[in-house]
């Protein structure tokens, strides 16, 4: 049985300090988030298909979408977990390695 699907997740990536919220009308803390969607196989081997960067109010959770370079203080590291980004490629490489090892071992038996 093969388990596969599409999932989404949101991760906070930077604290942006207090500023006036255009939606709730008061001063609140704002954070930058990355929201992403990924395809997965067996819940571990993933491949990111869509990502959005958001600046949102901590109080009302509403905000605006921005480009990554518009977020101040974001480091070069990708906050999305490694298996969500490269898990599918890793699974393919492991499968090809196992098949290659099996072929080599059967050739040596003859």
Q: Which domain holds residue 59?
A: 4-109
27: nearest Cα among 39, 16, 43, 41: 16
Please give the average per-residue pLDDT across 86-93, as a whole number: 87
Residue 83: CB atoms within 10 A of its CB come to 16
Q: Please give the mean pLDDT across all residues of the chain.
A: 85
Q: pLDDT for 20-35, tens place per residue?
A: 888 888 899 999 999 9
Count of domains for the chain:
1
Whole-model pTM: value is 0.72
- Rounded CA-CA distance 32/27 in Å is 16
DSSP secondary structure, 60-110, as one string:
T--EEEE-GGGSTT--SS--S-HHHHHHHHHHHHHHHHHHHHHHHHHHHH-
Q: pLDDT for 25-62, tens place per residue?
A: 889 999 999 999 998 887 778 888 899 999 999 888 88
Is residue 110 predicted with pLDDT exceeding 70? Answer: no
**What's the CA angle centered on 67, arms 34 and 8, to 5 degrees?**
25
């Amino acid at each position: 049985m093969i388990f596969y699907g599409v999932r989404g997740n949101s991760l906070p990536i930077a604290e942006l300090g207090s500023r006036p919220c255009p939606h709730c009308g008061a001063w609140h803390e704002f954070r930058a988030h990355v929201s992403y969607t990924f395809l997965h196989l067996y819940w571990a081997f993933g491949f990111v298909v869509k990502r959005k960067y958001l600046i949102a109010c901590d109080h009302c959770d509403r905000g605006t979408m921005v480009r990554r370079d518009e977020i101040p203080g974001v480091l070069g590291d990708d906050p999305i977990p490694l298996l969500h980004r490269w898990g599918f490629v890793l699974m393919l490489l492991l499968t090809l390695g196992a098949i290659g090892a099996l072929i080599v071992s059967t050739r040596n038996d003859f």
